[in-house]
Structure 1
């Protein structure tokens, strides 16, 4: 990721420091923010909504500088980074906080701390295939996702009968629990791109397929940070995951504490699994 938006030299007076006079008298702080984003959509459309409004980022920075007193500029940098990562489309951020009037006690030009933080949103992806060497295809697809996913944990492979559709071979399925720096739409586009590389076509509903990658959940329902969407291009959480044993069983194996939002409820996956038929599921 090489696209960046840099907002440098944001200045305001704050009351941060460990000394009493710093908290009483205040001093100027200067903050640099570098946002790592994908600028291609904005460049193609000339639409502000497809990029980051750096005036709003600057206002966030000033609010943090002028906010409650902190002992450390490291804490100030962390707050600024957290605000930036909360913005849709920001994959990573680099924040430098300068304290040019710091009480160092010797001649100096500048004192600064720099931190780098990356978005790490928990996601759950269900994978399935029933054409060719399905097990090899699923593992290869996970590998092909590369830096799309971090902290990847894969469930055991299971074999299941197809649900609906024409006569076809048994499926091999698994679930991946990971984190991602991407937005939901970006992640879904990556999943579709990997499917396409393996020859996935959508001509027959519930038909046989070389590879199926479903985004089941984006975010953490327990913390209330999961994305709920009924857009035609993005339905979250997956509308049928709660009734699919071939998703719930491997998911519960890789993350026994997993939960899934079902309507207004956040339900343990183990509870959902107990309510579905798993008699045809065999571990590969």
Structure 2
């Protein structure tokens, strides 16, 4: 993963009543937290634009609200809740949280007790995956690729569209290609987007995909189209997919499998599909089974 920039909040403090002992719940004590946000700040720095980064004042308020909030037994829980709140900010890719409990009931001299947790942004909501192939036994390849994804311990295929046969898009002056078989699958996973991308690229490679020409024929193409409402952009991955709104072979299968879906930034997938058209021929309704 590309190294990210860091925004650090140190020494956030609040009085809380976390702890196992009755006295801790009754009397309370001071807790503090250090929060490190892993963020790509390049766009914000280039445009001097707060909306392109993280409002760390809001993160600080969230952390203090957890420290002073409803009591829990463990500071491990406190740290996890602070991390979860930080990851709700869409620009935060990962977070480190250290919670300090300097007045912990430890029966020997000590300076502090801390718990440190690291969390990464996982996929929130359904992952929309576009599949395509136009070389070899495309139907079998698509079926095998979905099976490989579904067998991953942290991925579940929850819905699959019918197959759509569509003409290949080729660069001007290049030879024609075989038609594509296309489909869209919905996945549930807690893998971070970059790890899910790496998994898909590994499956492509295992099926002979070689990334040599942009519009070339291929035995397998797996594209992450959207991950819930997540917005993501780096040199390897942009979410939602920047050209999904103009691709009938993505929109039409997506609308078939999720009629109420919305493409963030563009609106109803069904309406977009009607506008663009599928440009192809529908094939099997049930071509893959878990």
TM bin (shorter chain): 0.5 to 0.7
Aligned partner (choices 120, 128, 134) of residue 118 of structure 1: 120
| SS of the residue 2:14 aligns to | strand
Quote the residue 1:170 is aligned against. Answer: 179
Query: Is the 1:162–1:168 contact (alpha carbons within 8 Å) kept by the matching residues of 2?
Result: no
Cα RMSD (Å) = 4.7
Runs of 4+ in 1 over 6 A off after TM superposition: 131-135, 153-156, 164-167, 229-234, 280-283
Mapped partners of 1:164, 1:233: distance in 2: 16
Flag the 1:282–1:230 CA change in 2: closer, same or farther, 3 A.
closer
Mapped partners of 2:32, 2:222: distance in 1: 45
| SS of the residue 2:73 aligns to | coil
Flag the 1:54–1:234 CA change in 2: closer, same or farther, 3 A.
farther
Query: Is the 2:39–2:91 contact (alpha carbons within 8 Å) kept by the matching residues of 1?
Result: yes
Flag the 1:27–1:52 CA change in 2: closer, same or farther, 3 A.
same
Query: Is the 1:123–1:180 contact (alpha carbons within 8 Å) kept by the matching residues of 2?
Result: no
TM-score, length basis structure 1: 0.62
Give the unaligned 5+ runs of structure 2. Answer: 147-152, 171-175, 202-208, 232-238, 269-280
Mapped partners of 1:6, 1:232: distance in 2: 31
Deviation at 1:98, TM superposition (A): 0.5
Query: Is the 2:15–2:68 contact (alpha carbons within 8 Å) kept by the matching residues of 1?
Result: yes
Query: Is the 1:64–1:80 contact (alpha carbons within 8 Å) kept by the matching residues of 2?
Result: yes
Flag the 1:230–1:159 CA change in 2: closer, same or farther, 3 A.
closer
CA-to-aligned-CA distance 1:60-86 (integer Å, 9 cap, x gap): 111111111222111111110110111
Residue 192 of structure 2 is aligned to residue 181 of structure 1: yes
Query: Is the 1:9–1:31 contact (alpha carbons within 8 Å) kept by the matching residues of 2?
Result: yes
Mapped partners of 1:282, 1:243: distance in 2: 17
Query: Is the 1:28–1:101 contact (alpha carbons within 8 Å) kept by the matching residues of 2?
Result: yes
Mapped partners of 1:78, 1:28: distance in 2: 18
Deviation at 1:152, TM superposition (A): 5.5
Give the unaligned 5+ runs of structure 1. Answer: 143-149, 202-207, 220-224, 249-258, 266-275
